[in-house]
Structure 1
Amino acid sequence: MSEDTIATSPAGPLQHVLDRVSDLTIGAAATALLGLVVVQGWQVFARYVINNSPSWTEPVTVLLLSTAMSLGAASGVHTNRHFGFFLLADSLRPALQRLVRAVSPLVIMLIGAVIAYWAGVLLLDGLDVRIAGAPMPQSIAYLPLAVGGGLMVLFAFNRLLLALRAPSLFDAAGVR
């Protein structure tokens, strides 16, 4: 069973909701990338053309980059376009393939939970400290990491459910 078989399982209401959330996530990541281009363009123009470099562009750039990266990674989990050992899983016997396909989302859920937790801790820790040059909290760049980590957990949980519901493969003798 390939990853495509799991990905094309019949879509229920939960899958439709998660698809919408993923679409919104990709839209936010794309908007952040666009914002990144605009902010960096303004930084270059202000520095080299009008010789007045604004101080707010660096923290805004970090926030936008963190947003694009975190939300893009989370959506990659939903669409199963993330880093993985798919060739290894495909080379295993069907019984082991099912196990690997169930363990993989668990690992992603663990990583997403750690990212969400520690990003949340760091976000809350620096909310009362202001960034020099911008009217934002120093820890604001951790907000997208916390959200992205939470979305990774949600999307990986859905992947786990899909992997567990996928039909087992049997050879002609009925042996796994």
Structure 2
Amino acid sequence: MSVLPMTAPAASRHPYTRLCAWLSKISLMAAVGMLVVIIVAVQVQVVGRYLFNDTPTWAEGLALQLVLYVTALGVAVGVRDAGHIGLESLAALLPEAWRLKLELLIHALVGVFGGLMTWSGWTWTRLKWDELDPMLGVPVGLDYLALVIAGVLIVLFSMEHMVALIRREEVVPSWN
């Protein structure tokens, strides 16, 4: 949440903001769907272990894989919805011109972090793509692809916040 005085959420009419809102909402819905699959996979694992004395290996591997994606998507959506750690108490004490600069700096640093996530995640995805996960039989690089997806979204959402700050508009959370 920004400490600058904002206008009505007119940013929702801007095509880039609508794109980011759509990406955020899709990410949130995908994360919720993956949480449901995690719950089912863990239940299959428990039933297999305690009722049939035969634990399916895919259930644990799938749950672990999906936890990575749920976390990555949740972090990205948190950036868009301003759920990340900020310096708002410090910013509130500053004159308005300095507040804008500080908030732009914060979003720029978050964007740089997202860029580093993307770059390092892609590096690891490529390096580990030829290795197979023994429990699922899929490339280990899929684990790191979650960082790439989250990093790209974080960069996009940080840029959205910077543009909104400059235009003195509000970024409306994706669940609205």
The structure-2 alpha-carbon separation of the partners of 1:28 and 1:8, relative to structure 1 and needing over 3 Å to count, comes to same
CA contact (8 A) 2:5 2:168 kept: no
* C-alpha distance in structure 2 between counterparts of 1:74 and 1:7, whole Å: 24
Write out aligned runs for 1:17-28 (5 A).
17-28=19-30
- Residue 158 of structure 1 corresponds to 160
SS at match of 2:40: helix
May I ask how many residue pairs the two structures share in their alignment? Answer: 167
* 1:5, distance to aligned residue in structure 2 (A): 2.3
- Residue 36 of structure 1 corresponds to 38
- Residue 138 of structure 2 corresponds to 136
* C-alpha distance in structure 2 between counterparts of 1:131 and 1:47, whole Å: 21
- Residue 5 of structure 1 corresponds to 6
* C-alpha distance in structure 2 between counterparts of 1:103 and 1:7, whole Å: 23
* C-alpha distance in structure 2 between counterparts of 1:46 and 1:156, whole Å: 44
- Residue 147 of structure 2 corresponds to 145
* C-alpha distance in structure 2 between counterparts of 1:88 and 1:100, whole Å: 9
Write out aligned runs for 1:60-75 (5 A).
60-75=62-77
* 1:72, distance to aligned residue in structure 2 (A): 1.0
Work out whether 1:76 is the aligned partner of 2:78: yes
1:58 maps to which of 25, 44, 60: 60
* 1:7, distance to aligned residue in structure 2 (A): 8.3
Unaligned runs of 5+ in 1: 168-176
SS at match of 1:53: coil
SS at match of 2:142: coil
- Residue 118 of structure 2 corresponds to 116
* C-alpha distance in structure 2 between counterparts of 1:56 and 1:6, whole Å: 50
| TM-score relative to the length of structure 2 | 0.87
- Of 51-60 and 9-18, the range deviating more from structure 2: 9-18
* 1:9, distance to aligned residue in structure 2 (A): 4.3
CA contact (8 A) 1:102 1:160 kept: yes
2:31 maps to a residue whose letter is A
* C-alpha distance in structure 2 between counterparts of 1:27 and 1:159, whole Å: 22
Counting aligned pairs with the same residue, the percent is 23
* 1:98, distance to aligned residue in structure 2 (A): 0.8
Unaligned runs of 5+ in 2: 170-176
1:5 maps to a residue whose letter is M
* 1:6, distance to aligned residue in structure 2 (A): 7.1
- Of 70-79 and 3-12, the range deviating more from structure 2: 3-12
- Of 7-16 and 117-126, the range deviating more from structure 2: 7-16
CA contact (8 A) 1:62 1:141 kept: no
